[in-house]
Each structure stands twice: as structure tokens, then as C-alpha cells.
Amino acid sequence: MQRGRCDQPRNDYNMTLFNEKNRNEEFDDGILKYRAARADCFSLESNAQRFGRVTEALTDTLTAYAEGAKFSLETALTCRAVSSYLREKFPRDADAWRICEEASLAAILKSCDNISLTDARLLILDLPNLLRLPYPEVKDLRNAAAQIIPQMMNVMRTNSLWRDFVETDYIQDLLKTGG
């Protein structure tokens, strides 16, 4: 209301006019019909079909990466989380999910080459989960994080992001001590 109307050069919009135009007497339940139809469509998919769809998407994404496609750190972290979930949920196929998890870790490492501050924060948030994994790539990931953190801290110091700086400094200390 304070900005006024977009089609008027001056702001003559006041509370009286606002209350006059702010009307909600007409009930619209159209979204409820859509929600019910959507629920019906998705409930037709069995757990096996849902599992197959997720598995296919994960495999396609990681295959594209292995063939040289680039994708974001967020995508790599998501693939790793899905792989871990599937490995725990379906232990009989643990070897297949382990391979997906290792491929995801390789993609995460590759994403660290030219990392933005936003992506670095994403990585730091997931770092405790990543460092617990029993794969050789974790050592390389620890080293990459140890190199990224000082760069992040410089940006934070320059932009007066002191709270973030202190939290990142703590994480850096943990990495140095192996915690």
C-alpha cells in the first residue's frame, strides 16, 4: 500500500481505498479439486515404480557426470544423499549404491574446483555427514575443504560477516585436529 499503484504517478492510495478494494467475499476452492486429482495420480505409482524412477534418475545423472557433463555442487550433494539413503534402505544392493555414492563424492570434489561462497556454505553444512563416510575420496574432500575454508574466511572478513567467520574458523580448527 505504501508503494502506491503501479499505474499512477503519485501515491494516492490510502487505508480507506485499500479497505474498499481488499475484498475476499468470493470463495474459490478450485485448488482443492487439483490437489485431490494430483493425489490420485501419484497414488497409482507403487513403491517399486517409485523406487525404479528414483534409481533411474540417480543413475542417469551420475552417468552423465561420468561422461563429462557438468552439474552443480547441490546436484552432487543430492546424489550422494540419495545414494546413502538407498544403500541403507536396500542393503542387498549395497554395492551398487556404494558405487553411486563414490561417484557422487567424485562429483562433489570436482565441484570444489571453482566454488562460489554459496556453494562453499552448502558444502560446509554437509561436511560432517561427508567426513563420516568410509571411502578414500573422503580424505581428498577433507583436503579440499581445508583449502576452501580460508578463502571463505577472507570473503567473510572483507564483508564483515563475523558470525559466519567465527563458525567457519571453528570448522577449520576441527579439520586441522581431525575432529
Write the pLDDT tens digit of every residue in 43-70: 667 777 777 888 888 888 888 888 888 7
C-alpha cell at 173: 580448527
Q: Does 179 have pLDDT greater than 60?
A: no
Position 147 scores a pLDDT of 85
For the stretch 114-157, pLDDT in tens is: 788 788 888 888 888 888 888 888 889 888 888 888 887 777 77
Q: Residue holding cell 579440499?
A: 144
| Beta strands per DSSP E along 9-134 | none
Element (H, E) at 175: helix 162-177
Whose CA is closest to 110, among 67, 146, 65?
A: 65
Over 80: is that where the pLDDT of 176 sits? no
Q: Which amino acid is at 76?
A: A
pLDDT of residue 13: 65
* 3-class DSSP state of 164: helix
pLDDT at position 175 is 76
